Structure 1
Amino acid sequence: MASTGAMASTGVTAPASAADEPNLARNPGFESGLADWTCSGDSGTAVGSPVHGGSAALRATPTGQDRARCAQTVPVRPDSDYTLSAWVRGSYVYLGASGTGTTDVATWTPSATDWQRLTTGFRTGPATTSVTIHTQGWYGQPAYLADDVLLTGPGGGPGPGPQVPAAPGGLTVGAVTDTSVALSWRAVSGATGYHVYRDGTKVTAVGGTSATVTGLSPATSYRFQVTAVNAAGESAPSSAVTATTSGTDPGPGPGPVPRHAVTGYWQNFDNGATVQKLSDVSSQYDIIAVAFADATATPGAVTFALDSAGLGGYTVDRFKADIRAKRAAGTSVIISVGGERGTVRVDSAAAAANFADSVHALMREYGFDGVDIDLENGLNSTYMTQALRALSAKAGPGLVITMAPQTIDMQSTSNEYFRTALNIRDILTVVNTQYYNSGSMNGCDGKVYSQGSVDFLTALACIQLEGGLAPSQVGLGLPASPRAAGSGYVSPAVVTRALDCLARGTGCGSFKPPRTYPGLRGAMTWSTNWDASNGNAWSNTVGPHVHGLP
């Protein structure tokens, strides 16, 4: 933040006679609120105190992602000199002009505990007919104040051209359904379109004075605002209205995941295992991961479509009701992304944002408690970390995040999956590594172990337990039956021995962990459907054992 680079003033000043010319800035003292000014991120407001002159001043608040830039475009003449000044208060306050056609300029103060005047100047280029003047703060700094902006020099041509439109008025709620809200508002002079915001996030753009916002959750309250836009920019937001969708309240969440938990994947398809409704899933499962969300044409974004036909006519309404019932009984229901054939890729900042937005939308639509990352065809730790942190910010502290990496993905802390898990340790629920379909692998002692044994499970889990994850973030992932995986099935008795070895130090094979991990989270299986095909033998054995760990 100490480096200002191009933000330094050029030191160019206008002739002294310019001071006698009229002020070209419109609403320079903010006496008319934010009229003629546009502030990024809804960051600005007019306040009555403190002020430098008149009865109002600008107060703008930066955030971690926004510098609270408040600007207006002013008509000017080519090849002319101008002086720009303003009175400011605050830390790291900037005043500048852009679009000059020569050198854009800015000046700043690192700390103005009282009103301080900033002044800079510029010369317009041979074809310049307008410039944009602005104030701004700096990322994450406190709010700053600005007042009495003064731009002097030769006046511009016949007019300033398009002006930023006023905020729309008369925003009204119309028809409301389980998943949609209709809105309407009054037309704004000079506007060429309108942006609709839900809870502060832009959700649609329209050309007229009405819109229907869809994809909402039943029995949920939403806050809506509208802005007007044209070539000059976007207006301040309208007054907010609140609407509550109809339908049944999804009910309270299940609360925190238990200290020791059993995770099971529920199949949204028929592959020969028992076809289940969510209501059929054994109560031994503390987390049910719905498999799977699918990729869309938008990079990073996912969607979910219930396979009603393949599941014997299981309707979306019944599915949602079953989610509510499971949650009311204390079970977390999450959406799993990926799978063996999944093609979701989160490999850019835009894809990360799309992933977070789309998963959060599914959570709101269906009532999911979180997300499971089961990307078996590659994962970028940088952007998946961004995506999951963005989702956490949207969903809040109750978000459940699980991961199901393949065995090879957790052999080293330098692997992308392992790095992602370590990057989000503060919000991660559990990593249930798939200890199957993998052949022989190294344990934490450097020795090679073959899958299908207590030693394989304990020596490989030790890598995570000693590699930076908390015991509560480590789970053992196994198939529920011999048909559930190509290789690596072990009897439930082997799973319980491995759990005891890690948590209690008993039941171990030749490998002895360096310590015990009584906080070990538990176990996972693919899948609840294959478990049901085998008479729920896996969950009836492993479930009570997990819940009885120290």
Structure 2
Amino acid sequence: MSFLVIPESTRDDSGRYSLTLSNSAGEKAIFVRVKVLDTPGPVGGFEVCDVTSTGCQLSWLPPDNDGGCQIQNYIVEKRELDKKTWSNCINDLKKTSFKVTGLTPGCDYYFRVMAVNKYGLGVPKDSPKAYLTTDPISEPDPPKKMDVLEVTKNSATLGWLKPLRDGGAKINGYMVDYKEDGEPEDKWTPYSVVKDLTIVVVGLKEGTKYKFRVAARNVAGTSLAREAE
């Protein structure tokens, strides 16, 4: 009996082998398919999405190379940008997606996933970059409680309070509009954009009733307007 030994074989040694037997009478070739059992390769399609200040969503595809046997589970780990050690998120996950929770707001995190079969841990698949934990930016809430503080025959002094929620980005201005009382809703006239919480609207007609409104603005857009009470 003859043997062919491939020392320290890896998954790359899997494939179809040709064995040729020859003697003085001739030769004969046979083909043998060899399957090397090993730990899994890296998972595919690894994505990080829906990042908030305390968590994110991970998803991936099973590895192209399962090591020759069934994938048993997945291990998910995280690492802060300024640290070298990985910490475990979950080590017995049966699905190809996972919601990470309990992250520290304002930190940068790397994530990685490993497939596991009966031969051990597979090749880790790291996220392509570090992800900053922060809530998505959106338009702010309307300013709170707009009041007419003082009125003269040609002007009105207005004041308001900051929005309850800034949408995750700094308020960069307040848009003030006005219109004569009784005019349609589409007749609001832009007056000014200011950064303060008060404004004096001038050039008004004596004896005319007016309505005023203010909206907050950030890099994501403009809030709904708040009318003066």
TM-score w.r.t. the length of structure 1 is 0.17
Give the structure with the larger helix fraction: 1
